């Protein structure tokens, strides 16, 4: 085995695909219940899309993008973020001309970031997310957080922590940023290396530094909440009222800062203890300037992204119920060449009757075929040999009870259709 999958990527096999399908199906159902419609965009986008929206100086753009030139000399990038492509779609597909607001969701979107893999962090991961364009109403922010929780609860999860914060609009955030830089500049020499770098690059990030040497300066640091302009403060206040109406338990975290440039006002995260250091399963917020950055009219927006691989870690840690492997309705065991030929046509009619079925293709003994059927697992085994070919009646064995009976070959599809539908309830 020479060629292996690239670092930080995962394969999916039939053994774990049913769990994944459950996550995806549930996401579609819940998003639909909230009035969101599904979108899809290419995995490839122009590099410029992310440079302009996510931000030139962010880690994502600076060192985590899979970018290359195609044969026509275009600078393309494997999407490292889903919100920017969604905004691009909103503009390009003229969704601004439809009835507003426009509520969109996506599931199973591959996202690429060139990072060092660790627990819950991959170079290719997959996201479920929603985006609502066109309304500044804090009730939408609340709805989106509530949607995420509905989804997580529907998967049977608990032990989730919702954290929210407001990072203000560009105006009040800039005031705050300058004050913060002024505050930390005095003690810059005492702070850790990372924070000295953050001071130049993204001062708000200093607030969630965990190093002891920085803690005392953090205590004295001014808080964003006292810098919010009247409109932003009112928006944040109303968001919290709506969350209470929706029975969403949350905590305000003034150190919560999202790393992407397009965020305004509301930012939030949902975390779970099973995830280790990378404990965020869902992150999102408001991006009122995003569409305008891409050349559209000023358009408010809110959304979140949820990491499906991380979600699966949580689901497994909580032993939440996942559907088991799909059963096969019928396995046809054949004895002899004539039966083998007859089985091929029997499968055809069973499948036309919506019965899932299979047969032996390795010329195996009856015993080996039975073992194979058992492992599938198959609900029924149909025994087809010389006796059955002569009588026109096939032996039907219920693999759970071990009971057998004879059924006319011509009517076995209907017989199984009835048996298997009642078995599933």
Partner RNA sequence: GUGGCUGUAGCUCAGGCGGUUAGAGCGCUAGGUUGUGGCCCUAGAGGUCGGGGGUUCGAGUCCCCUCAGCCACCCCA
Write the binding mask 6 to 35 for RNA: x where contact by CB under 7 A, - elsewhere: xxxx--------------------------
Q: In angstroms, what is the minimal distance from the CB of 279 to RNA?
A: 7
Q: Which stretch binds RNA (CB under 7 A): 35-43, 151-159, 231-239, 368-376?
A: 368-376
Q: How far apart are CA 291 and CA 297, in angstroms?
A: 7
DSSP state of 105: E
Instruction: Give the nearer residue to RNA in terms of CB position, either 102 or 306.
Output: 306
Rounded to the nearest whole angstrom, what is the least distance from the CB of residue 35 to RNA in the complex?
Answer: 23
Applying the rule CB under 7 A, the residues between 189 and 228 that interact with RNA are 194, 198, 202, 205, 209-210
Question: Which is closer to RNA, CB of 40 or CB of 371?
Answer: 371
In sequence order, the 6+-apart residues with CB closer than 8 A to the CB of 400 are 379
> Residue 262: CB partners within 8 Å, gap ≥ 6?
53, 54, 55, 83, 84, 287, 289, 290, 293
Residue 147 contacts residue 270 (beta carbons within 8 Å): no
Identify which of residues 291 and 378 has a Cβ nearer to RNA in the complex: 378
Question: Residue 10 region, left (φ>0) first, then alpha (ψ -120 to 50), else beta?
Answer: beta
Residue 28 main-chain phi, psi, to 5 deg: -60, -45
Round to whole Å and give the CA distance between 376 and 54. Answer: 47
Residue 377 makes contact with RNA by CB under 7 A:
yes
137 near RNA, rule: CB under 7 A: no
Instruction: Give whichever of 4 and 71 is closer to RNA, judged by the CB atom.
Output: 4
How far does Cα 247 stand from its chain's mean position? 24
For RNA, give the closer residue by CB, 98 or 194. Answer: 194
- Binding pattern for the stretch 284-323 against RNA, x by CB under 7 A and - elsewhere: ---------------------xxx-xx-------------
We find the least distance from the C-beta atom of residue 278 to RNA, in angstroms, to be 4
Q: Which of residues 143-172 bind RNA (CB under 7 A)?
A: none
Asked if residues 343 and 395 have their Cβ atoms less than 8 Å apart, the reply is: no
Residues 84-123 that bind RNA (CB under 7 A): 111, 113, 115-122
Among 26, 53, 77, 127, binds RNA (CB under 7 A): 127
Q: Which of residues 53-82 bind RNA (CB under 7 A)?
A: 58-60, 64, 81
Q: How many CB atoms lie within 10 A of CB 219?
A: 7
**Residue found by looking up tokens 């290719």 in the block:** 124
Residue 375 CB, nearest distance to RNA (Å)? 5
| Residue 125 contacts RNA per CB under 7 A | yes
Shortest spacing between CB 234 and RNA, in angstroms: 26
Residues numbered 316 to 335 that lie near RNA (CB under 7 A) are: 335
**Least separation, in Å, of the C-beta of 322 and RNA?**
19
Q: Count of CB atoms within 10 A of residue 184's CB?
A: 23
Phi, psi of 137 (to 5 degrees): -60, 125
Give 241 or 404: the residue with its C-beta nearer to RNA: 404
Q: Nearer to RNA by C-beta: 95 or 282? A: 282
* Structure-token pair, residue 197: 């770098």
Alpha-carbon distance of 379 to 402, in angstroms, equals 10
| Residue numbers 232-271 binding RNA by CB under 7 A | 258-260, 269
As to burial, measured by CB atoms within 10 angstroms (0-12 exposed, 13-18 middle, 19+ buried), residue 40 is: exposed
Which tokens in the block code for residue 390? 């002569």
Pick the closest to residue 360 from 352, 375, 408 (CA basis): 375
Smaller CB separation from RNA, 233 or 335 = 335
In the bound complex, what is the minimum distance in angstroms from residue 230's beta carbon to RNA?
Answer: 28
Span interacting with RNA, options 38-46, 178-186, 287-295, 398-406, rule CB under 7 A: 398-406
Which of 130, 397, 412, 420 binds RNA (CB under 7 A)? It is: 397
Count the residues of the shown chain that bind RNA, applying the rule CB under 7 A. Answer: 72
User: Any bridge partners for residue 68, and if so which?
Assistant: 76
Shortest Cβ distance from residue 223 to RNA (Å)? Answer: 19
Question: Which residue spans within 47-144 are E strands per DSSP?
Answer: 66-69, 75-78, 102-112, 124-133
**Backbone CA torsion sign across 200, 201, 204, 209:** negative
Tell me how far, at minimum, the Cβ of 305 lies from RNA, in Å. 4
Please report how close the Cβ of residue 269 comes to RNA at its closest, in angstroms: 6
| Strands 328-334 and 357-359, bridge-based pairing | parallel
């Amino acid at each position: 085995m020479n060629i292996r999958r690239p670092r930080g990527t995962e394969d999916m096999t039939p053994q774990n695909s049913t769990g994944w399908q459950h996550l995806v199906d549930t996401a579609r159902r819940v998003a639909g219940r909230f009035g969101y419609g599904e979108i899809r965009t290419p995995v490839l986008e122009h590099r410029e899309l992310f440079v302009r929206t996510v931000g030139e100086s962010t880690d994502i753009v600076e060192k985590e993008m899979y970018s290359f030139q195609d044969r026509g000399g275009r600078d393309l990038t494997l999407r490292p973020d889903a919100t920017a492509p969604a905004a691009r779609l909103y503009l390009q597909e003229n969704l601004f001309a439809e009835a507003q607001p426009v509520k969109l969701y996506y599931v199973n979107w591959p996202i690429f970031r060139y990072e060092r893999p660790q627990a819950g962090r991959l170079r290719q991961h997959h996201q479920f997310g929603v985006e609502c364009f066109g309304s500044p109403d804090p009730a939408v922010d609340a709805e989106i957080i509530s949607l995420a929780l509905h989804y997580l609860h529907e998967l049977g999860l608990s032990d989730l922590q919702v954290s929210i914060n407001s990072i203000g609009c560009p105006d009040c955030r800039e005031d705050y940023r300058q004050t913060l830089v002024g505050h930390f500049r005095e003690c810059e020499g005492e702070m850790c290396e990372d924070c000295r770098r953050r001071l130049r690059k993204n001062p708000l990030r200093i607030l969630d530094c965990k190093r002891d040497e920085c803690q005392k300066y953090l205590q004295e640091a001014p808080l964003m909440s006292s810098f919010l302009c009247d409109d932003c403060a009112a928006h944040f206040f109303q968001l919290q009222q709506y969350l209470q109406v929706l029975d969403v338990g949350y905590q305000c975290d003034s150190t919560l800062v999202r790393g992407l440039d397009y965020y305004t006002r509301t930012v939030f995260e949902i975390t779970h203890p099973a995830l280790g250091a990378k404990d965020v399963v869902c992150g999102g917020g408001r991006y009122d300037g995003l569409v305008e950055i891409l050349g559209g009219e000023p358009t408010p927006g809110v959304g979140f992204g949820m990491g499906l691989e991380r979600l699966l870690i949580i689901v497994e840690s909580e032993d939440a119920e996942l559907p088991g492997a799909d059963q096969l309705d019928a396995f046809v065991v054949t004895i002899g060449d004539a039966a083998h030929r007859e089985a091929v046509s029997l499968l055809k009619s069973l499948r036309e009757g919506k019965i899932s079925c299979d047969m032996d293709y390795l010329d195996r003994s009856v015993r080996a075929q039975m073992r194979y059927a058992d492992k599938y697992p198959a609900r029924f085994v149909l025994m087809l040999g010389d006796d059955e070919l002569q009588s026109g009646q096939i032996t039907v064995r219920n693999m759970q009870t071990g009971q057998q009976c004879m059924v006319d070959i011509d009517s076995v599809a209907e017989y199984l259709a009835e048996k298997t539908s009642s078995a599933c309830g």
